[in-house]
Chain A
Amino acid sequence: MNSLVAVAYVPDTETKIRIAADGKSIDESDVKWIVSPYDEYGLEEALKTKEGKGAGAVTVVCVGPERAKTGLRECLARGADDAIWVDSGDSRYLDALATAKAVAAVAKEGKYDFLWFGQKGVGYDESLVGPMVAELMNLPHVGNVVKLEIGDGRITAHREIEGAHELVECSLPAVLTAQKGLNEPRYASLKGIMGAKKKPIAEKKLSAMGIPEADAAGAKTRWRKLDLPPARKACHFVPPDDPAAAGKELVRLLREEAKVI
């Protein structure tokens, strides 16, 4: 059972975001990059599937600039067998449809039973690419997967929705998007890190794939401007010494000043 795992290489959560001079992208100096956390759940599940079956390969793919290769190496170090880098050339915002078309093109060149995505990437936070790939490839998809049971050519995926889990059955091949709770991603061992250096990373160029949305002129979503959120007013502190008085004062403020209760 072969798996293709799509990963996004995004700014680490602790990174302080600064706006670049062009006003529509982030200043990348001092940014630490990581594989998006939700993608790690997808990679881990693919690795577990391969180990469980004792067969199959795990391929990772990332669409991004040169630094994406570092992210791919981290995935190879954890146990992925090979990687594909789709060079997007530069860092500017890429329309999800362009990314999806690139991943679909890569997927069509292999024979994958599972196509894993994170339920969102913590850079653009769009939750679009996985289901778009499913649509482009005319495959069923299950999103927000917190548990996966594999049968004979069929799977049952537990999908997290508001206040409930849906148990979804579908045939393979299928697209799945991983949600927190699916598994605990492993760390790369030293052996894995050394071994990763010998595993292949194939390279493709996004600009050569005939995807109109990859160009600024053909993009179907665009970032016109990037801003920091407006600064919040300083906190109004209520003295804690008399808890009963503090409780009453909070209610008074919420009612009379903030008008929310």
Chain B
Amino acid sequence: MTKLSLFLIVLFALSVTTVPVFADDDDDDEREFGVGENEREREREHDDEREDDDDDERIVLGTGVSDIVLYVTISAIAGTMGYTGYKIISAKRPKLVKK
């Protein structure tokens, strides 16, 4: 095993072990600043409500007038591709000459 691979393994091991330490930081901070359980729960509920409001404000795909633009675009792309393919096929096919 080369020195480089050993160094990489040590670096990887260090990064894996230090991540959980930082992941716990938020809870420790809250405990230090004395944020109560009830207060924390209230904050969480408030955040959830805000997220629900944001979801309502977002335009949901599949409904509404602005979707017409999307449908027109998709059909225009499909139409253009079909027309292009048709043009190539019709140009290749030899024309029959009536006698």
A binds B: no
Binding site for A on B (CB under 8 A): none
Binding site for B on A (CB under 8 A): none
